[in-house]
Amino acid sequence: MSNSINGADRAVKKIKKPLLRRRLKVSDVNVVDRPVLKKALGGTIVGNTMEWYDVGVFGYLITTMGPVFLPEADPTVQTLFLLGTFAATFIARPLGGVFFGWLGDKLGRQRVLAMTLMLMAASTFVVGILPGYAQLGIWAAVLLVLTKLVQGFSTGGEYAGATTFVSEHAPDKKRGFLASFLDMGSYLGFAIGAALVSILQVTLGQAAMEEWGWRLPFLLAGPLGLIAIYFRMKIEESPAFQASLDAQEAALKDPNTIDDDSIPKGPLAIFKNYWRGIVLAMILVAAANTVGYALTSYMPTYLTTTMGYDPVHGTLLTIPILVIMACCIPLTGRLSDKIGRRPVLWMGSISAVVLSIPAFLLIGAGSIWTTLLGLALIAMPVTFYVANLASALPALFPTASRYGAMGIAYNFAVAIFGGTAPFIIDALIVGTGNDMMPAYYLMATSFIGGISIFWLKESANRPLPGSMPSVESVEEAQELVDGQFENPLLDHDEMPFDATFEPPTSSMDLSALKTDPEHEPAKV
């Protein structure tokens, strides 16, 4: 008898802990509350719309604001100064991303998103009341740059927090579709800002716009910001983050009940632990936002200064393209839920490389219809890119450090490549005299972005790392639990179970394992 027991004990010792899974229960699965989800989605979209409203207004007023802040400078210098000011906004973004990302993992997504929206709306409003060169001389330009730096700092926490927040609220099977509404709101906000500028340019004329009309779109950010803040204050904290907070409280009582990925980390620790995901995210964001900002923030300037269109037509031509693109973004988001994030991101990368030269050749033809077609070709890769980044990037990081990691990855990439794209492209044209330089620049960044997709882990229809599965109904939860060990989309090792399971230490425990509903041996 002793020999048989010893033999069983030796067999048990061969069972390693990773080969034993904690069994998922229905109560572990998050069933999405639809009213809460709608409120969270709406409250988040308004912030992104507000952010891009300002981007649209500022981008389309560059040729108008130049004489206001640098009236004695050459028009080329005025344009480069305003583009540089736009780029300076993105220099402050990484600092805001690091700070608000860390704060969002500590205090919660909802509180920090409310804070970033307040700062963003206030700084946009302040631009509208700044004195011009006639009142303060060169200090007027300095104040403009400082105000945009504050705005960039607040914006640094906006997109990273918004994508994190919506991704954590959404059911796994619809995360791509729902998260894509963030970027739909972004480009609609841009189009609204551009349309408002166009209406003012047509009704007031260039002289009145330079004198006082340019202030109106910025001043409008005040009441719009108050409305957006009201909606954002009504949203609830994400269930994934709330579960992470509960796990952290449990860890204070028993450190063995939580793994290292469930503990919030500072910026340095985040980069050390998740640098591969951060680098991968930065490359993808750089590729997508270079094309995106070239379309939204640079094309009005390009059409006016390089192609010879007047400021009104330079603005109006891009608006219908932006509206159509915004309406298509949820469709590509839904497509990623069907066929995967990676295939749709491939579409964005390949289309940018293939279509950039034809797009700028069509724009260079000079007619309105060829210009519209060229702009549409640039918008195509943007549609495939941005609809998927909002759901693909948060899936690279665990819940407890997701906001912080996203803040670092997204904002450093946007600062280096996205926000500087208009300035770099314009400088390349001025330096080389070649109007096709924008096409070559977009092709190069998207080619590098395409290479990075090879290393991107597919995340469609899968739970976020460090989060339990999220579904739309109790019936779906039960079905998921029943087939959990045959489901290739579930990884038990990435789920934050509330207790650890120690392997059995004797043959007596082995028999108990067979009847324990909480645990089940993993299939090898």
For 347-373, the three-class secondary structure string (H helix, E strand, C coil) is HHHHHHHHHHHHHHHHHHCCCHHHHHH
Closest CA to 90 of 274, 268, 322, 297: 297
Average pLDDT for 81-86: 82
Average pLDDT for 48-75: 83
Whether the CB-CB separation of 271 and 415 falls below 8 Å is answered with no
Give the tens place of pLDDT for each residue, 100-122.
988 888 887 888 888 888 888 89
DSSP per residue, 10-54: HHHHTS-GGGEEEPP-GGGSEEP-HHHHHHHHHHHHHHHHHHHHH
- pLDDT of 506 reads 40
Domains of the chain: 31-237+259-470 (1.20.1250.20)
Q: How confident is the model at residue 431 (pLDDT cuts 50, 70, 90)?
A: confident
334 pLDDT more than 90: yes
More confident residue, 516 or 108: 108
Give the tens place of pLDDT for each residue, 233-246.
877 777 777 666 66
Give the tens place of pLDDT for each residue, 459-514.
999 998 888 899 998 999 899 888 888 888 888 777 776 544 444 444 434 343 34
pTM of the full predicted structure? 0.80
Q: How confident is the model at residue 339 (pLDDT cuts 50, 70, 90)?
A: very high
144 pLDDT more than 60: yes
Whether the CB-CB separation of 389 and 182 falls below 8 Å is answered with no
Q: Give me 183's structure tokens.
A: 């970027």
- pLDDT of 249 reads 59
7 pLDDT more than 70: no
Q: How confident is the model at residue 160 (pLDDT cuts 50, 70, 90)?
A: confident
- pLDDT of 14 reads 39
- pLDDT of 37 reads 86
Q: Which residues contact 225 (CB under 8 A, 6 or more apart)?
A: 50, 117, 118, 120, 121, 122, 124, 125
Q: What percent of the chain has pLDDT over 70?
A: 86
More confident residue, 248 or 469: 469
